[in-house]
Structure 1
Amino acid sequence: MAFHFFSPPPQAAGPLRAGPVAVIAWPLRLVLRAWLLVLLAWLGVLSLAWNAVAPLLRLVLPARWGRVVGRAGISGVYRVYWACARWSGLMRMDAQSLDVLRHEPGGLVIVANHPSMLDAMMIAARLPRSVCVMKASLMRNPFLAAGARLAGYVVNEDTRPMVRAAVECLREDAQLIIFPEGTRSLGPRRMHGFTRVVSVMARQANVPIQAVVIETDSPYLSKGWPLWRLPPLPIVFRARLGERFEPSADHDALTERMEAYFRRELGQ
């Protein structure tokens, strides 16, 4: 049974607001917390299944085809998960505006603010050519590592190898997802400063930078938020297309422009 009484209609206009969890009676809160954990466990099952298949595909597919299949596979896994999350009634993820990028030719750097651990999954689900820039520690994570290797994801351990790998992906017409804060935001509307490495990547690959603004009032899976803690419901996130920036040789100026743009869009 889905808890659809928490969710307004999918096309409803106006700001995204989560409901007050404090007014829910404690027995129902226990049920909802368990239901949320089941949803997260289902994400784990989907991820483990794909990461069990990925090493086999890496053995039999040529490297370039492996990257294509790997990226599309990760995107498909996350699309299935978000469909289940929507059915549960606990989460509303609206990222359909990103679909116009799916068939756009050429490489593209996609930059977004980073309020939650869910952000990369939400964007990648809509873009089957996407490549994420991810922390080196995640390449040892059994839920992510094998699939990320197959897809040719970029590791952010050292700056020069990271930029080189990112530029190679962009020249293969990939859509590179990077969070220029370098870590999760301080809150839904409180960002860290941006790194200039985004501008460096775009300039070297000679591709534009597409801003994606992630809007939420939910603290779920933000910094310091444990998996088992029940947030206000429904958990609502919206990703929308923002401004497009052309590459520039003045990396500092472009980085300042992008950061100022996101701060304006988020009401800072």
Structure 2
Amino acid sequence: MTAKVGRCLRAAGSMLRAVPLYAMLVLLGLTSLAWNVIAMTLHPVMPAAHARTVGRAAIAFAYRSFWAIASFTGMMRIDAACMDALRSERGLIVVANHPTMLDALLLVARLPRSACIMKADLMRNVFIGAGARLAHYICNDSPRRMIKLAVEDLRQGGQLVLFPEGTRTVRAPINAFRPGVTLIAKMAQVPIQTVFIETNTRYLSKGWPLWRVPALPLVFTLRLGQRFAPSQDSDALLRQLEQYFRHQMEQSATEAPLACQTPRAPTLS
């Protein structure tokens, strides 16, 4: 009986500690909803170039503010400053592994020039759809059109955030990569910068329900990996990219986690 009471008390304590985390998630949702109302108003009247800049900068600012509050309250520890070295680069594809639902927020927060490729149903989502359309994020409803829009955006000096696994990781260390990223790099003639997201939690990973309370604080570390030049053989480059991710992540699983690292001289392969 005493053990049962102890378990109940620990569970209640865990839920109480998580209240600030869920309060911040609610705040993020409300902020996103408010921005979408504004974006819905701006989209029909704002020139495309200005809409793209304003929309992306606003999303990055909102997410960066969210991470700052989460860190200040002790709910999360985030080491992602190395991403700031990429902020001003023009024409760059940023690819990362995809352990949780929070990954895109981590990357976009540090890359105010970047666009994401989004599922068609998310582009219609009441919380993020209008903001994504204002920012000229790219819909994946048609693969040919998706690639065309991504290449155009990169040629205009934009950045593209991509998760080559296509969905959150379900088979460690990574899912098989889906085609597209290396073809876009080839057509746009831009490099691919690899980023590794390391975390101490499976919170909001595939199959983790939103209501399930995680252990706190949530820790995320981002580090920059090798940079790959575009290749005429995009299929071979995709295999090389997947092999590189798999090797690096298997290696990091057996070693102490690294702090966020800024790149040395970029490695082109």
TM-score of the pair, normalised by structure 2: 0.87
**Residue 225 in structure 1 maps to residue 208 in structure 2:** yes
- TM-superposed CA distance for 1:190, in Å, is 2.6
- TM-superposed CA distance for 1:24, in Å, is 8.2
1:153 aligned partner, one-letter code: Y
- TM-superposed CA distance for 1:181, in Å, is 0.6
- TM-superposed CA distance for 1:25, in Å, is 2.1
User: Structure 1 CA distance, aligned partners of 2:65 and 2:10?
Assistant: 31
Determine the structure 2 residue equivalent to 1:142.
Answer: 126
Determine the structure 2 residue equivalent to 1:243.
Answer: 226
Determine the structure 1 residue equivalent to 2:194.
Answer: 211
- Aligned residue pairs: how many? 245
Cα contact 2:21–2:70 (8 A) shared by 1:
no
**Residue 92 in structure 1 maps to residue 77 in structure 2:** yes
Determine the structure 1 residue equivalent to 2:184.
Answer: 201
Determine the structure 2 residue equivalent to 1:71.
Answer: 56
**Residue 101 in structure 1 maps to residue 86 in structure 2:** yes
Determine the structure 1 residue equivalent to 2:240.
Answer: 257
Runs of 4+ in 1 over 6 A off after TM superposition: none
User: Structure 2 CA distance, aligned partners of 1:164 and 1:200?
Assistant: 11
- TM-superposed CA distance for 1:213, in Å, is 0.7
Structure 1: 5+ residue stretches without partners: 1-21
Cα contact 2:173–2:250 (8 A) shared by 1:
no
User: Structure 1 CA distance, aligned partners of 2:250 and 2:125?
Assistant: 35
Cα contact 1:218–1:232 (8 A) shared by 2:
yes
- TM-superposed CA distance for 1:266, in Å, is 1.0
Determine the structure 2 residue equivalent to 1:18.
Answer: none
2:197 aligned partner, one-letter code: I
What RMSD, in angstroms, separates the aligned Cα atoms of the two structures? 1.6
Secondary structure in 1 matching 2:204:
coil
**Residue 40 in structure 1 maps to residue 20 in structure 2:** no
User: Structure 2 CA distance, aligned partners of 1:50 and 1:242?
Assistant: 33
One of 113, 116, 128 as aligned partner of 1:129: 113
Determine the structure 1 residue equivalent to 2:98.
Answer: 114
The percentage of aligned residue pairs carrying the same residue is 51
- TM-superposed CA distance for 1:231, in Å, is 1.3
User: Structure 2 CA distance, aligned partners of 1:27 and 1:118?
Assistant: 25
TM-score of the pair, normalised by structure 1: 0.88
Higher relative contact order (Cα pairs below 8 Å, separated by 6+ residues): 1
User: Structure 2 CA distance, aligned partners of 1:102 and 1:124?
Assistant: 10
1:33 aligned partner, one-letter code: A
- TM-superposed CA distance for 1:23, in Å, is 11
